[in-house]
Structure formats: C-alpha cells, structure tokens
Amino acid sequence: MFSKLAETNILLSRTTILAATTLFLCLLELAFLAVLLFAIRSDLRRHIMQDLETSLELFLEQNHDPLTDPDIFGSILDEQSLVDLTFVRIIRDNDQLLFSHSGDDLSFHDLARLDPHSHGCWIVFPEQQHEPYSTVWNVVSRSLDSGTIIQAGNEDINAYRMYRRLVKMFWFAVFPALGIAFLIAFLGLKLSLAPLRLLNKKLEKMRSRDVGEQELEALSSTVPAEYRRLCHHLGSIVTRNRQLVKEMQHSLDNVAHDLRTPMTRLRSVAEYGLQGGKDVEKLQVSLSDCLEEADRVLAMLKIMMSVAEAETGMMKLEYSYLDIGKSLSDIVDLYEYSAEDSAVSVSFTAPEKVLISADRTRLAQVWANLLDNAIKYNKKGGSVDISVMVEKEQVSVLFRDTGIGISELEVGRIWERLYRGDRSRSKQGLGLGLNYVKAVIEAHDGKIRVESGLNQGAVFTITLPRENSDGN
C-alpha cells in the first residue's frame, strides 16, 4: 500500500512539475510574441504619422497664401498639393471646408462630425464603428495662428490589414506555443531525471550486497557532476547508519548485561523468600531485598529516560538560587564512606556563598555522577580534588582525579550515549552518566570539557553562567 502511495505521490509530483514548467514556458513564449507584436504596432504607427506630418507640412507650404487669406473659403487651393493626403479639412469658427481629390467618394457629413482635434492612426468614424468592415483613417490636426484648424488624413488600407493579420497569427500561435512548451518541458524533465534513474538502477543492484562508502564514491564517477555530491552524502549516511547500528547493538549488550544482574538477584531473593514458608522474618528480609533491587532497576530506567529527555531538548529545569559551594559540599559528604571504602581521599575548596541560578536536583546529579566516576575509576591511595573558580560572568567547577585516565581514542566518545570504554566495563554502569551530565550542563547554557591521558588521571571542567547577587 505504501509503495503504491509513494508511486502515486511521485507521479503527481512529476505531473505538477511538468504542468508548471509547460505553463511557464508557454507564458514566456506568449510574452515574447506580445512584446514583438507591440513593437511592430508602435513602429508602424510612428512611420505612418511621420509620413502624414510630412505630407501636411508640404500642403501648408504650397498653400500658404490662400490659407492665411481672411477670405479662406473663397480661395482656390491646388489639388496637386494634396500629394498622399486623401482629404484636408479646414475649420474656422462654425465654417468648414473639405478639400479632396476630384472623384474621391467622401462623405462630408461623416467628416464634419469628426472631432477637429482628432489626431492618430487607425481612427474609425463614429457612424462606422459598428460596421464589420469599416474604413480606418490616419488623421493629423494642426492649429494655425489665425485660429484656423487644418485637419488632414488618408485612408489606411495595407498597414492596418497587415497588423490585423499579425494579431490573428499571434492568437493562432498560442496553441503551437503550448505544444512546443509541453514538449520542451517533457524532454527537459526526462533528461534531468535520467541520471537519477541510472543511479536508482545501480543502487537496486547493489541493495542485496553490503555496500560501503567507497563503492558509492566509485558509483559517483558514473553520474553527472551535479549528482556526485548526492552519492557522497549517501555514502556518509550509510557509514553513519552502520556505526549507529553497531553502537546500538553494543549498547543493548551492555544494558542487557547490567540489567541481568539485578533481575537475576531479584528472582533469587524472591525464590529464597518463598522457600521460607511461614517464616515471617525471612519473608520480610526477602521482600526488603526485592525492593532494593527493584529500586536499582527503576533508577537505571529513570536515568535512561532522563538522557532521552535531555537529548530531545525536552528537559524541564526548575530554577532557583543556590550556593554552589553548599551544593558540592553536600555531595562530598554523601560520598565520604564510598571514598573511604575505595581508599580515595576527596578534598574540596570553594569561596563562600557563590550563588548561581540552576536546577538544584539536576546539578546535584551532575556533581554526584562526576564524583562517583572519579572515585570508581581511581587507584587505591589516589585522590580527588574539587575546586570552584569564580570569574566575572561565569563560575568554573573542576573535578581533578589521579585515576586510570582516558585514552586519546576514547576521550572524544565519552559523551556518547551508552558508550563505555574498554577498561570501564569491569565496573557496574550503563554508560549513561557523562552523556546525561553533558545534557544537563548544556541545558543550563553551560559547557563541560575534559583533559586526560592514559594513566594520567582526568580533569573535568564545568563552566556555568554566574548570577550576580549581594552575597557574591
């Protein structure tokens, strides 16, 4: 079902891309044709008006005297001076004179209704606007100093018909343009997807085998340059996924190993209690041990949930002002007997009343985790030194121990979830502590770093933002 849905989505996506590309190319072609048509129309009209202005100027020069005569309507004009003009209309006050070539069938009535100031190309007389094959005119008007208006024009036949043919051709070109745009878009989409199809076929062949990053890098040489980066990223993802799977298997083994002990002990204690029969004291001891082991398992699961919560950024912090020295002192006191049992001395120095704003419980867990590790992985007769350094805008807490240290290969991985170094596997734990510590410190906008070497101890430095107060 999901494969059919995916194929449907891919087909819909390709159809959408194809339709959008076709529409874009079609609009682009139509825009080009429209601009071209507009340019042709403007050029035609400009040349027509220039020729008409020239003919009118020639007419005015040849008939200068009659046109300036007060008795202009009684003057005689030269018909030859009309040249290319079809008519000349002379208007003074309410009187009009129409002058044209003899034999031209012109309607004085139609011309008399034309606006005296009409000026332009392809003008249709008002009475002919609703006729399907009306005559179009090119008209130019000129006002003389005497107040006389000279209006001249000619009938346009060829230019206007040619322009109308171009308009029809433009509309007929819409459908071929749509077809061409579709063809170009289809071929472009097909060619652009060809390398992906080739890559998909090769990946299908390689799917049954254990493909590595190197094989994908080799595959990238067979595809175009723009898809080589894709192969490189695929190789990185494959390598990363394998590493994650390997780490997950390793981590699950650690979890199973660490949970097996308390669960086995829990079962053994329960069986021991059942064997006691009606011995109440024996049953109470067994139940007490069961509760102790159950609490241990719950503590492990709670830590795992806290780490998951921290990694997803959903950790909720309950901020309050706390004295960092007092917080550390409480943890040192808590681990006093543990340190004595391990023959490790713990020293602690801090300025008086250094206040910070933090989650009291979470920060106590951080101190406890770091101190527990420092004691657990220390040598007999070793030491742990905890110190607090106060700066202007931050507070630094240092945990310095003389333990087994961390190798260069492992120092960058100790913050990973469920990671445990080779030499730490003999100790009880889930490998969640430092990952949780880092998450809590970063949730407080702080930083944590480590300096260590094999058999040279370790120094963990936690830096937290400082809150100013009167007590600082």
Examine the domain organization and report whether 372 and 247 are in the same domain.
no
This prediction has a pTM of 0.44
Residue 162 domain flag: yes
Which range has the worst mean pLDDT, 144-158, 170-184, 202-216, 246-260? 202-216
Cα torsion through 435, 460, 326, 351, rounded to 10: -150
Using alpha carbons, select from 453, 359, 383, 376 the residue that is nearest to residue 411: 453
Examine the domain organization and report whether 405 and 324 are in the same domain.
yes
Mean pLDDT in the chain?
77
Residue 202 domain flag: no
Cα torsion through 409, 412, 415, 419, rounded to 10: -20
Examine the domain organization and report whether 334 and 306 are in the same domain.
no
Which range has the worst mean pLDDT, 103-107, 182-186, 333-337, 412-416? 103-107
Is 81 a residue whose pLDDT tops 90?
A: no
Q: CA gyration radius for the chain?
A: 48
Residue 472 domain flag: no
pLDDT of residue 216: 58
pLDDT of residue 285: 78
Is 4 a residue whose pLDDT tops 60?
A: no
Residues with Cβ within 8 Å of 112's Cβ and at least 6 positions away in sequence, in order, are: 96, 98
- What's the CA gap between 419 and 410, in Å, rounded? 9
**Which tokens hold the place of 110?**
């139609």
User: Within a 10 A sphere around the Cβ of 98, how many other Cβ atoms?
Assistant: 15
Q: What percent of the chain has pLDDT over 70?
A: 72
Domain CATH for 401: 3.30.565.10
Examine the domain organization and report whether 436 and 375 are in the same domain.
yes
Q: Which of 36-40, 125-129, 301-305, 329-333 has the highest mean pLDDT?
A: 329-333
Domain CATH for 277: 1.10.287.130
**Which tokens hold the place of 3?**
């494969």
Examine the domain organization and report whether 126 and 153 are in the same domain.
yes
Examine the domain organization and report whether 231 and 301 are in the same domain.
yes
The backbone torsions φ and ψ at residue 120, rounded to the nearest 5 degrees and listed phi first, read: 155, 180
Could you read off the pLDDT of 130-149 as tens digits, one per residue? Answer: 555 567 889 999 888 778 88
Instruction: Show the domain range for 264.
Output: 210-313
Q: What confidence category does residue 330 fall into, taking pLDDT thresholds of 50, 70 and 90?
A: very high
- CB 436, CB 369: distance < 8 Å: yes
- Domain final residue pick, 284, 313, 342: 313
**Which tokens hold the place of 234?**
């695929």
- Domain final residue pick, 297, 313, 329: 313
| 246 compared with 361, residue with greater pLDDT | 361
Could you read off the pLDDT of 198-221 as tens digits, one per residue? Answer: 667 666 666 655 555 556 566 666
**End-to-end CA separation in angstroms for the chain:** 66
- What's the CA gap between 56 and 99, in Å, rounded? 13
pLDDT of residue 448: 92
| 188 compared with 357, residue with greater pLDDT | 357
| 151 compared with 107, residue with greater pLDDT | 151
Length of the chain: 472
Using alpha carbons, select from 329, 266, 328 the residue that is nearest to residue 297: 266
Q: Which of 31-40, 118-127, 310-319 has the highest mean pLDDT?
A: 31-40
Is 172 a residue whose pLDDT tops 60?
A: yes
- What's the CA gap between 235 and 219, in Å, rounded? 10
Sheet holding 394-401, edge to edge: 345-349, 383-390, 394-401, 458-465, 447-452
For residues 286-305, average pLDDT: 77
- What's the CA gap between 297 and 40, in Å, rounded? 88
Indicate the pairing of strand 383-390 with strand 345-349: parallel
Examine the domain organization and report whether 165 and 18 are in the same domain.
yes
- Domain final residue pick, 172, 194, 228: 172
Residues with Cβ within 8 Å of 26's Cβ and at least 6 positions away in sequence, in order, are: 177, 178, 181, 182
Residue 152 domain flag: yes
| 76 compared with 333, residue with greater pLDDT | 333
Count of domains forming the chain = 3
Examine the domain organization and report whether 216 and 271 are in the same domain.
yes
Residues with Cβ within 8 Å of 224's Cβ and at least 6 positions away in sequence, in order, are: 195
Examine the domain organization and report whether 422 and 331 are in the same domain.
yes
Could you read off the pLDDT of 378-424 as tens digits, one per residue? Answer: 888 999 999 999 988 899 999 999 988 888 888 777 877 656 655 55
Indicate the pairing of strand 136-143 with strand 149-156: antiparallel
- CB 372, CB 335: distance < 8 Å: yes
Which range has the worst mean pLDDT, 8-22, 291-305, 355-369? 8-22
pLDDT of residue 332: 92
Residues with Cβ within 8 Å of 268's Cβ and at least 6 positions away in sequence, in order, are: none
DSSP symbol at 416 = S
pLDDT of residue 471: 41
| 68 compared with 143, residue with greater pLDDT | 143
Is 363 a residue whose pLDDT tops 60?
A: yes
Residue carrying structure tokens 């109470």:
284
Is 296 a residue whose pLDDT tops 60?
A: yes
pLDDT of residue 345: 93
Residue 304 domain flag: yes
For residues 155-170, average pLDDT: 83
pLDDT of residue 252: 67
pLDDT of residue 383: 93
Residue 51 domain flag: yes
Examine the domain organization and report whether 301 and 348 are in the same domain.
no
Specify the amino acid at residue 173. Answer: A
pLDDT of residue 85: 86
Examine the domain organization and report whether 254 and 158 are in the same domain.
no
Examine the domain organization and report whether 29 and 74 are in the same domain.
yes
pLDDT of residue 11: 46
Q: What confidence category does residue 225 fall into, taking pLDDT thresholds of 50, 70 and 90?
A: low
For residues 17-37, average pLDDT: 77
Residue 133 domain flag: yes
For residues 39-52, average pLDDT: 89
pLDDT of residue 427: 53
* CA 30 to chain centroid: 32
**Which tokens hold the place of 32?**
């080009």
Residue 140 domain flag: yes
